[in-house]
């Protein structure tokens, strides 16, 4: 089976899941699809720092810098086989995986991108932390098993951006992962599989993202045990009465105080 995995370059949630997929599903022909051009967040370092500081605050900036440094350190420690056993399956970027079967998309909804996906004859397209919204023309392609999304929350709750952040912000006691059919509306579409994870008082954004990543790996294992069964049975319709949507955290619009961010980050 040939699959396209749409993802982002720097995300410990998606990189950890994709590593698991590459290591356990040897029978799959996996191609990674990454954002390029205007969707790749390629700002200068200074403008990126200014943007994070202005929109999300100083602590968020510190968190991003720590994550960047941790990514670099992880690469070095892995190279010299110095990672602890508990951290060997944790990845912070796609680059760490050393995987070369990659397609870059400037805009995945443009005609050349759609034709590329069509001509590659993929059997399945999975979105895992991808930064572009797939539109109707793309989703209507004749892909054997269609388009599915792996979202780090229990849909229909916490649809939208950075669900793990908002779960911690709202002091929830549980979160989870949902594998669902993709539709043009973000994070909607019938649910194939979902699993809960417990949220502890000691969890921060990094630990919760990794919890959901490891639970997502279990979900994908179940899914690939019998793809035909999961795809061809009617997915569970989401109840929009319980839908909640959250945007990207913003200092001006939300209470991103020192005490709140310190607890989350």
Determine how β-strand 147-151 pairs with β-strand 245-246: unpaired
pLDDT per position as a tens digit, 236-249: 999 999 999 999 99
Helices marked H in the chain? 12-24, 45-56, 58-79, 111-120, 136-139, 163-169, 205-225, 227-232, 258-264
pLDDT per position as a tens digit, 54-69: 999 999 999 999 988 9
Confidence of residue 36 (pLDDT cuts 50, 70, 90): confident
Residue 72 scores a pLDDT above 60: yes
pLDDT for the residue 201: 94
Confidence of residue 19 (pLDDT cuts 50, 70, 90): very high
pLDDT for the residue 90: 94
Q: Which of 182, 178, 192, 177 is nearest to 233 (CA)?
A: 192
Percent of the chain clearing pLDDT 70 (strictly above): 97
Mean pLDDT of 133-149: 96
pLDDT per position as a tens digit, 119-137: 999 999 999 999 899 999 9
Compute the mean pLDDT over every residue in the chain, rounded to the nearest whole number. 93
pLDDT for the residue 86: 84
Confidence of residue 43 (pLDDT cuts 50, 70, 90): low
- Burial zone of 197 (CB within 10 Å; 0-12 exposed, 13-18 middle, 19+ buried): buried
Distance of CA 107 to the CA centre of its chain: 18
pLDDT for the residue 189: 95
pLDDT for the residue 222: 97
HSE (CB half, 13 Å, CA atoms) of 198?
Answer: 3
Taking the C-alpha atoms of residue 242 and residue 196, their distance in angstroms, rounded to an integer, is: 17
Residue 42 scores a pLDDT above 60: no
Confidence of residue 51 (pLDDT cuts 50, 70, 90): confident
Residue 250 scores a pLDDT above 60: yes
What is the reported pTM? 0.94
């Amino acid at each position: 089976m040939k699959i396209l995995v749409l993802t982002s370059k720097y995300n410990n949630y998606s990189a950890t899941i994709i590593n698991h997929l590459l290591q356990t599903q040897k029978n799959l022909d996996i191609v990674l699809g990454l954002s390029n051009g205007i969707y790749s967040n390629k700002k200068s370092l200074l403008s990126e720092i200014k943007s994070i500081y202005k929109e999300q605050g100083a602590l968020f900036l510190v968190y991003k810098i720590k994550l960047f440094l941790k990514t670099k350190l992880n690469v070095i420690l892995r190279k010299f086989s110095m990672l602890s056993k508990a951290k060997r399956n944790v990845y912070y970027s796609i680059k760490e995986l050393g995987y070369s079967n990659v397609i870059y998309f400037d805009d995945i909804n443009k005609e050349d991108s759609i034709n590329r996906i069509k001509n590659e004859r993929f059997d399945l397209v999975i979105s895992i932390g991808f930064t572009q919204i797939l539109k109707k023309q793309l989703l209507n392609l004749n892909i054997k098993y269609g388009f599915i999304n792996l979202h780090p929350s229990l849909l229909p709750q916490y649809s939208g951006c950075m669900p793990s952040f908002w779960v911690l912000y709202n002091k929830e006691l549980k979160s989870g992962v949902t594998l669902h059919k993709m539709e043009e509306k973000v994070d909607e579409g019938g649910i194939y599989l979902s699993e809960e994870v417990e949220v502890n008082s000691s969890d921060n954004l990094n630990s919760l993202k990794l919890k959901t990543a490891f639970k997502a790996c279990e979900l994908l294992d179940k899914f690939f045990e019998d793809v035909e069964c999961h795809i061809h049975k009617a997915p569970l319709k989401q109840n929009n009465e319980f839908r909640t949507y959250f945007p990207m955290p913003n200092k001006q619009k939300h209470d991103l105080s020192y005490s709140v961010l310190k607890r989350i980050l």
